[in-house]
Amino acid sequence: MDIKPILATLGRHKFTVFLLIAQIALTCAIVCNAIFLISQRLERMAIPSYIAEHELVYLQLAFIGARPDAMARTEADLAGLREVQGVKSAMIIDHLPMSGSSSNSSLWLDPAQQMETMDATQYFGENLLSTLGVQLEAGRAFNPEEYRDLDKIDKALQTGDMKEIPTSVLITRAVADRLWPGQNPLGKQVYIGRNFALTVVGVVKGLVRPNLLERGAQYSLIHPVRLSMSAGSYYVLRCDPKDRERVLKAALAKLNALDPNRIVLDSGTWDQMRYNFFRNDRAMAGILMGVCLALLVVTALGIVGLASFWVSQRNRSIGVRRALGATRGHILTYFQTENFLLTTFGIVLGMVLAYGINLFLIVHYELPRLPLTYLPVGAMLLWCLGQAAVLGPALRAAAVPPVVATRSV
């Protein structure tokens, strides 16, 4: 197919051609960035938690206020909950993975450093590994005698009594790689808040943070700290996935039987918690997808409109070509090639624009750079769209009979 005559014809409609190219370029640029944004959200939503996601249910109770028998009452609650049929393990935890609120602290490799090395979430609670299903990769889990009560630690911090402060810690693989890349972390020391040295006794595969995922999703520490009921804490139960609904109901009934005056703030399966955690991302991904679709439809309609106009305007010259021996196939190819050329110009311009928009987003929204792989994907999408949109008008053009050439318009 010789493209010279096509270019010559397009040259006679410079302005319309320019508009079409501009529209394709803008669409290409925005769709590339929107798809990139969608993929960012999807990637975030697919973050692994490294816990037994489908086996957990939780109950969050309203805080009853500080009281001296809190630890005993918590133990009684937990003992009651463990009696519920189907419960494999139970614990109390102050912040659940992906619950949206967390306790974080700075870690220092050397207390004399100017700035902290990193920050990480702190998880407390007895039976954490077995209940949440966190996998130990190296080293050991905590021994029972290592556990300390949180309220005693608070007092010890005030009096400076170092005996009550735990000295061992479990870290995730991600933390180990950040603090000591390529080295064996077992037995190494890390400082928390500069004053307290902790010895790494074990490494877990991973454990997602309750929030702040953008600051390192797996940056978590596990401390040998025993909790009692406090504001915002959860009872977590592990059971078979198919038992979850039943266990949750039985657990609520059990707690109600132990103390009918308590308020259950929230309860559900951990899967629901994960679903809710990403609801904003999901909504945004939906909106972006809707906009992409609308953009592509509008652009396709624009191509259909302009192509139809061109076909009807060139009715006579098409007839002449047909009379001079061009086949229907030739006419069809002509319009398809014309559209391919226009789309290609639009895509080239659109790629440049896409990078411009991406740079703007990097500056204002702290997004990563657009990967190059998005460009061929966007190009293919628009080529297909253009070819599909022009097919109708092109078929109509191909159907123009040669006899038109002999009629005056």
Partner 1 sequence: MLGYYLDLALRSFKRNKVLTLLMVVTLALGIGASMTTLTVLRLLSGDPLPQKSGQLFYVQLDPYPKDRPFSRSGKLPWLTTYTDAMNLLHAHRAEHQAAMAMTRVKLIPTTTQQRPFFSNGVMATADFFSMFEAPFQYGSGWSAADDDNRAKVVVIADYLNDQLFGGANSVGRSLRINDQDFRIIGVLRHWAPQPRFYSLYLGGPNYGKGEAVFLPLQSARAAGMDPINSMSYAAGDKQVIENSPTIWLGLWVQLPDAAAVSAYQSFLASYAEQQVALGRFQRSRIGLSGLMPWLDSQQVVPDNVRMQTGLAFSFLLICMVNTVGLLLAKCLRRTNEIGVRRALGASRAAIFAQFMAEAGLIGLVGGGLGLMFALFGLWCIRQQPAEYASLAHLNGQMFLCTFAVALMASLVAGILPAWRACVVTPAPQLKSA
Please give the residue ranges that form the binding site for partner 1 (CB under 8 A).
15-16, 19-20, 22-23, 26-27, 30, 34, 37, 62, 65, 114-115, 154, 157-158, 193, 195, 231, 263, 265, 276, 279-280, 283-284, 287-288, 291, 294-295, 298-299, 301-302, 305-306, 309-310, 312-313, 361, 364-365
Residues 196/118, Cβ–Cβ less than 8 Å: no
CB of 135 to partner 1, least distance (A): 32
CB closer to partner 1 out of 302 and 402: 302
Task: In angstroms, give the least distance from the CB of 264 to partner 1.
Answer: 11
Q: Do residues 98 and 277 make contact, with C-beta atoms less than 8 angstroms apart?
A: yes
User: Closer to partner 1 at the Cβ: 184 or 312?
Assistant: 312
CB 220 to partner 1: min, Å: 21
Nearer to partner 1, 241 or 305 (CB): 305
Handedness of CA 329, 332, 338, 344 (dihedral sign): negative
Q: How far apart are the first and last CA of the chain?
A: 28
Q: Minimum distance from CB of 129 to partner 1 (Å)?
A: 28
391 by Cβ neighbours in 10 Å (0-12 / 13-18 / 19+) ranks as: middle
CA distances from 243 to 5, 58, 235, 252, 269 (A): 72, 13, 17, 14, 11
Task: Give the Å distances, CA to CA, from 108 to 16, 178, 194, 197, 209.
Answer: 63, 12, 6, 9, 19
Q: Which one, 141 or 212, has the nearer CB to partner 1?
A: 212
- Sign of the dihedral defined by the CA atoms of residues 120, 123, 151, 161, in that order: negative
> Minimum distance between the CB of residue 375 and partner 1, rounded to whole angstroms?
18
The pair of three-digit structure tokens given for residue 111, joined into one six-digit string: 């207390």
- Token pair for residue 4? 């010279």
Closer residue to partner 1, CB minimum distance, 106 or 168: 106
Which CB, 280 or 317, lies closer to partner 1?
280
User: What minimum distance in Å lies between the beta carbon of 128 and partner 1?
Assistant: 24
